[in-house]
Structure 1
Amino acid sequence: MAAALEGAWRALRLPGRPPLTRFEVEFLSLPRRYRTTLAATELGYQPQVTYSEGVDRLKG
């Protein structure tokens, strides 16, 4: 889909950039992990929900 959008934007010489690109698809599909230890240590950050609770909320 992203490749088709990029091709259409190029072929039709549409202004701006396509709403979805192959780069964005690849970037968003990579696994990511974020550590909050520095924020917790220096700023006293505490998550509002646990990881498990967050996953349960996503499931609905």
Structure 2
Amino acid sequence: MRTRRIAFTCPERKDQVARRAALSPRGGRPPAFDEERYKQRNVVERCFNRLKQFGG
């Protein structure tokens, strides 16, 4: 995805946050997460799923 410059839009898992915090006192750099983009992606994915379901 990075080579194609596609932004990652999934939220970070709780275990990843805890592991990063355990490795370093500062916690490292968290990945960027855009909640609005995540909502829009969900709408698009549901639309494609409906099209697949009724497409035959």
- TM-score normalized with structure 1 length: 0.28
Higher relative contact order (CA 8 A, sep 6+): 2
Normalising by structure 2, report the TM-score: 0.30
